[in-house]
Amino acid sequence: MSPAWNTPVLPAAAAALALALAACAGGARLPPPPPQTFSAAEIEKGAELAKLADCQGCHTADGGQAFAGGRPLNSPFGTIYTRNITPDPRTGLGRYSREAFIRALRRGVRFDGAELYPAMPYDHFAYADDEDLGALYAYLMTRRPKDQPPTPNKLIPPANIRGAVAIWKALFFHPGRFQPTPGRSAAFNRGAYLVQSLGHCGACHTPHNFLDAEETSKPLQGGVQEGWYAPPLNALSPASVPWTPEHVYSFLRTGFDRDHSAAAGPMGSVVRELARAPEADVRALSVYLATLMQPSPAAKGAARPADHVAQAAAAQPAGARLYAGACAACHDAGAAMMREGRPPLQFATPPQEDRPTDVVQVILHGLQPATGPRGPYMPAFAGTLSDAQVADVAAYVRARYSDRPPWKDLASAVAKARRQGGEG
């Protein structure tokens, strides 16, 4: 728990602010319009935007009905369960008018005026056009309603008091409007709009401060979410091969790129939706993101793929032995997986990252194909290797496949990642 929350004044102030906000928000409690008032075109557009925003990814529980909520999201302050956004009149969006819905996405205020936790990325949705938010509303309001009451959040005080969010907002939530960059292509600006607004890429890829707010001064410079590290998407990109628009497109569309790596962790569900989003929008995202990453070391020729077999074996003999029996059957030359065009590890981003988080996560918990049953897969080693063995493998991978210094604190990184994952 961070020191700021220990100050006794804040909760009281938060409660007062919340009451004030609730009072002024009351007027938005209008009845929702009947489904038939939405045009087919608007619903269709909303469907596309919902994919770009990956609404399903967060608002669907494992094995549950789409959009009915209930998925646990881990935050530094505990677990938040996502809400039911089907049009159910008792437990879902059925309680929201169009205006209330837009207000919720733009300002983080619930239909009844209560605060919404910033796990909902309204700090990004605030940048979306009303027209787009309206389309999203039309789409969600035409889904099959599901009566599914919310799962109570498990948050530590004072984060468990919704009013505290008002303080948070006062401190960190100052959205503006999206501004296109003059002189850039339409695709670039479309990509920029999607990244900043509905795509909410910064929710993972921007570092967060001690109160879990995005550090807006460091956009897309890399962040931690759900125990995974989302690497920088700008000049700080640690990739060993430059990201061109084609590479980014391949990654976003299929979950892997031959010259980089496979989507893992929370990126999986993003890719699952982007694989089915309009191609032009995913291309726009790719143009914009590749442009952001243009000044990266790889693009400037200052980083390149590395494969230091002999040095790594000398530096990390235990890791080398483990790698030879546990990893080489897929990742070394002559393996079927290599022959079939899956990227060799020196092309992958995680071994290049400043922290071992992703390498450790993917060893412990593996990865599943992102876009369907077919695609890159890695088994979870959580049950097979001990913490120390995972650390040895990670150290070897770092030594062999990057030119960067060894990671520190591997043991604690493994212990932490194991706590966050399943049982394997």
Partner 1 sequence: MSLVLTVNGRQHTVDASPETPLLYVLRNDLQLNGAKFGCGLGQCGACTVQVDGKAAYSCLLPVAAAQGRAIRTVEGLGAPEAPSPLQKAFMDEQAAQCGYCIGGMIMRAQALLDANPRPSEAHIRAHMQPNLCRCGTHMRILRAIRRAAGLPVEAASA
Partner 2 sequence: MSVEAPSRRQALAGGGLVVAFCLAGPAFAQGGGEGGGQKPVAPGLPGSLKTTPWLDAWIRVDADGRITVFTGKAELGQGIKTALIQIAAEELDVPPQGLRLVTADTGRTPNEGVTAGSHSMQDSGTAILNAAANVRMLLAQAAAARLGSGPDAFDTTGDGAFRSHDGRTVRYGELAAGLSLHVAAQPNAPLRSRAAPRRTMGRDFPRVDIPAKLTGGEAYVQDLRLPGMLHARVVRGPSFGTELTAPDFAAVQATPGVVAVARNGRFAAVIAEREWTAVQALQRLQQAPWRRTAPPLPEGRPQAGLGGASQDQVIFDKPGGAGGVRTVKARYSRPWLMHAAVGPSCAVALFQAGQMTVWTHTQGVYPLRGALAQLLRMAPEKVRCIHVEGSGCYGHNGADDVAADAALAALAVPGRPVRMQWMREQEMGWEPLGCAQVGEAQASLDASGRIAEFRYEVWSHSHNGRPTTAGGLVAGAEVEPAFPPQTPRPIPMPEGGGDRNAIPIYAVPAGRVVSHFVRDAPLRASALRSLGAHLNSFAIECFMDELARVAKADPVAFRLAHLEDPRARDVVSRCAEAFGWAGRRPSDGRRGSGFAFARYKNLASYCAVALEVEVEHETGAVQVGRVVAAVDAGDVVNPNGLQNQIEGGIVQALSWSTVEEVGFDQAHRTSFDWSAYPIARFKDVPRSVTVQVVDRPGAPFLGAGEASQGPASAALANAVADACGARIRDLPISPDKVKAAIGV
Binding site for partner 2 (CB under 8 A): 40, 43-44, 47, 56, 63, 65-67, 139, 142-144, 276, 328-329, 332-337, 339-340, 369, 372-377
382 binding partner 1? (CB under 8 A): yes
DSSP one-letter code for 127? T
Least spacing, CB of residue 386 vs partner 1, in Å: 7
The nearer residue to partner 1, 51 or 342, going by C-beta atoms, is 342
Give the relative orientation of helices 40-53 and 267-274 as an angle to the nearest 10 degrees: 150
Least spacing, CB of residue 184 vs partner 1, in Å: 44
Q: Backbone dihedral region of 14: left (phi > 0), alpha (psi from -120 to 50 degrees) or beta?
A: alpha
The type of residue at 422 is G
CA distance readout (Å), 47 to 35, 71, 95, 194, 210: 15, 21, 20, 15, 35
Least spacing, CB of residue 406 vs partner 1, in Å: 21
User: Are the C-beta atoms of residues 56 and 66 closer than 8 Å to each other?
Assistant: yes
339 binds, among partner 2, partner 1, none (CB under 5 to 8 A by kind): partner 2
Among the candidate windows 105-113, 228-236, 351-359, 371-379, which touches partner 1 by CB under 8 A?
371-379
177 binds, among partner 2, partner 1, none (CB under 5 to 8 A by kind): none
Four-point Cα dihedral 44, 80, 13, 203, nearest 10: -60
258 binding partner 1? (CB under 8 A): no
56 binds, among partner 2, partner 1, none (CB under 5 to 8 A by kind): partner 2
309 binding partner 1? (CB under 8 A): no
Element containing residue 74 per DSSP (H, E): strand 72-75
66 binds, among partner 1, partner 2, none (CB under 5 to 8 A by kind): partner 2
DSSP one-letter code for 295? T
Least spacing, CB of residue 53 vs partner 2, in Å: 14
* Nearest residue to 88 via CA among 145, 149, 144: 145
User: Are the C-beta atoms of residues 203 and 225 closer than 8 Å to each other?
Assistant: yes
139 binds, among partner 2, partner 1, none (CB under 5 to 8 A by kind): partner 2
373 binding partner 1? (CB under 8 A): no
- Rounded to the nearest 5°, which phi and psi values hold at 154? -120, 85
Task: Find residue 115's DSSP bridge partners.
Answer: 109
Among the candidate windows 40-48, 82-90, 275-283, 329-337, which touches partner 1 by CB under 8 A?
329-337
424 binds, among partner 1, partner 2, none (CB under 5 to 8 A by kind): partner 1
User: Are the C-beta atoms of residues 148 and 85 closer than 8 Å to each other?
Assistant: no
64 binding partner 1? (CB under 8 A): no
326 binds, among partner 1, partner 2, none (CB under 5 to 8 A by kind): partner 1
The nearer residue to partner 2, 11 or 94, going by C-beta atoms, is 94
Q: Using DSSP, state whether 68 is helix, strand or coil.
A: coil
329 binding partner 1? (CB under 8 A): yes
Angle ∠(114,214,82) on CA atoms, nearest 5: 45
379 binding partner 1? (CB under 8 A): yes
β-strand 223-225 against 154-155: which pairing, if any?
unpaired
421 binding partner 1? (CB under 8 A): no
Distance of alpha carbon 6 from alpha carbon 11, whole angstroms: 9
β-strand 78-81 against 72-75: which pairing, if any?
antiparallel
Least spacing, CB of residue 60 vs partner 2, in Å: 8
The nearer residue to partner 2, 8 or 63, going by C-beta atoms, is 63
The binding site for partner 1 (CB under 8 A) comprises 63, 321-322, 324-326, 329-330, 337, 366, 377-386, 389, 423-424
